[in-house]
Structure 1
Amino acid sequence: MAHSCSPTDDLVEIQQLLARYAVTITKGDIDGLLAVFTSDGTYSAFGDTYPLAEFPALVEAAPKGLFLTGTPVVELDGDTATGTQPLCFVDHATHDMRIGYYSDTYARTEDGWRLRTRAMTFIRRSGAHDSGRPHAYRRGEA
């Protein structure tokens, strides 16, 4: 896909994309959240990878609260990029925190940059880094 943007323009667009992710998921705006991903986008955590079609159920089952993200480190490579973004999630009811980071891939689309893959790594009190407990979310269960 031909483009005439500078690397700085690309970085700012990706940062705004990731800000939209954090704001839409914090506000419970599922349509807005889905719009930041490519049509084949996936989210990985809890020992599994979820396609876009499963996002609404996954988000519904997840705790609600503030998704506070930091500035990502992004490596541009033409019409694709990779990145890592720190996350601090604060539960709305208890103010308990979960910390970690997202490992991402991005793709330039006709509609601009979008997330193609996002994988969560949690940082535990022990110092361990892991992708979450398998089956913390179960498909098809309410």
Structure 2
Amino acid sequence: MGMQEDIRRLMDLEAIRDLARRYAHCVWIKDPAGAAALFVEDCVMDTGGPDPIHGREALIAVYRNAFGQSDFQPFVHNHVIELADDRATGVCYLDLRAAIDGRSMIGAGYYHDVYIRRPDGWKFKSRQLTLAYLVPLAEGWVGR
């Protein structure tokens, strides 16, 4: 691999890491449109609920509802990325603090992502959230 390819690879890796950070930022500041703009139009988001969410407009509606009822403070880290030209896959770990139904919550898990390069940069094609736990802070996660 030549220097130009090395530089492009490093730039792609950093752009994908930044995509995950921007998503977390949009969740923190309760910006449904900003979060959805990080996805391609025909995206899929699977949060572990009954049905995956298909498309940006559906994402915006789900985020508006969730952000109106709860506060989420995600921290993303330990990003592992596999590049393949204009596609990539990755795993991004999540530590979560939240206020849900008047309770302080703590959670941890990871996202399994598929990314696609578009003319305006890297976007999420899909995100699948796997939570190891999401429990009341007072209860803790031991024994889960």
Normalising by structure 1, what TM-score? 0.79
CA distance in 1, matches of 2:14, 2:103: 34
**1:49 corresponds to which of 17, 36, 52:** 52
Q: Does 1:109 find its partner at 2:118?
A: yes
CA distance in 2, matches of 1:56, 1:110: 22
Q: Which amino acid aligns with 2:64?
A: E
Q: 1:113 to 1:19 in 2, by over 3 A?
A: same
Residue number in structure 2 paired with 1:119: 128
1:18-50 CA distance string (max 9 Å, x none): 111000111011121111111111101214210
Q: Whose RCO is larger (CA < 8 A, sep 6+)?
A: 1
Conserved 8 A contact 1:98-1:122 = yes
Q: Secondary structure at the match of 1:12?
A: helix
Bigger drift between 78-87 and 47-56 goes to 47-56
Residue number in structure 2 paired with 1:132: none
Identity %: 27
Structure 1 residue 57: deviation in Å? 2.6
Structure 1 residue 103: deviation in Å? 0.4
| Structure 1 unaligned spans of 5+ | 128-142
Q: Which amino acid aligns with 1:75?
A: E
**2:95 corresponds to which of 88, 91, 98:** 88
Conserved 8 A contact 1:86-1:102 = yes
Q: Secondary structure at the match of 2:115?
A: strand
**1:11 corresponds to which of 13, 16, 25:** 13
Structure with bigger helix share is 2
Structure with bigger strand share is 2
Q: Which amino acid aligns with 1:78?
A: D
Structure 1 consecutive aligned stretches of length 4 or more whose deviation exceeds 6 Å: none
Q: Secondary structure at the match of 2:78?
A: coil
Conserved 8 A contact 1:15-1:71 = no
Conserved 8 A contact 2:107-2:131 = yes
Residue number in structure 1 paired with 2:63: 59
Aligned length: 125
